[in-house]
Amino acid sequence: MNENPVPSQPVVEMSALVADFERQAIALKALKAKKGPSSPEAKERVKYNALRHGFTGQVLIMTPEEREKFDAFVKGMMTDLAPVGTHETFLANSIAEEAWRLNQIRARCANLSAVGDFEGAGNRYRPMEGAEAPEGILTAVTDSVVARDQSKELALMSLYGQRTQRACEKYKKELYEMQEKRKAAHAAELEEARLLFQLADTQGLAYDPGKDGFVFSLQFIRTHTERHHRLILAKRTETDYRKKNHLTEITKAAGKAA
């Protein structure tokens, strides 16, 4: 028995494929810096962009049109999720990419019906002689034929969709928990800074946040402190405001009507 088996061929081929993708990425960047391909053969060779992902550094192969939409989608998701730091950025990027894949899966399921229509699946329905086909019957027949003939593909995409959805929810949960902890720690630090600033101010002393290990500027702490006390005063004026604008009577009238 051979105790030192040779690595399987698929592994070697995959490594070679990845290396080839990287070479294509370098070649494409060089081409973009120049005038670009001019002959039909050259244009066909660079039809797919092999570009590295901006965050993960991995090579993604997409058509230029798809890459443009992908980048815009991920950028929008990253803006909405507002990650801070490498770990949060990784989770936010993972959510965006899983959401993109989920959209792809849904589109492919819908496209199966379109393919069925192109292939004439609805032509298998034949209305009675002299009768008109009810509106929408051909679409219903096409959907039914596709569901029957493409059941394995639909089931597989459904499985992929469920896994993708679970992965997306997992990343969301982890990101939100991490952001909540970060925001809570930020709020606690800011509260400490406010109290220490107030102490120094009441004693007539200058306050340096850096000496207490805070990254907040003195102006930021002062503004936060002023806003804090304005909110306290604002809460005390709620009753007066309601009386001035006759909101108390409106509330009573609404309660009676209910």
107-161 pLDDT, tens digit per residue, is: 887 777 766 665 666 566 565 565 565 656 666 766 777 777 777 888 888 899 9
Asked if residues 100 and 70 have their Cβ atoms less than 8 Å apart, the reply is yes
**Pairing state between β 49-52 and 59-62:** antiparallel
- Rounded to the nearest 10°, the torsion over CA 94, 98, 100, 104 is 160
Considering the entire predicted model, what is its pTM?
0.62
pLDDT tens digits, residue range 204-244? 999 999 999 999 999 999 999 999 999 999 999 988 888 88
**Per the structure block, which two tokens stand in for 145?**
């034929």
- Rounded to the nearest 10°, the torsion over CA 216, 217, 218, 223 is -80
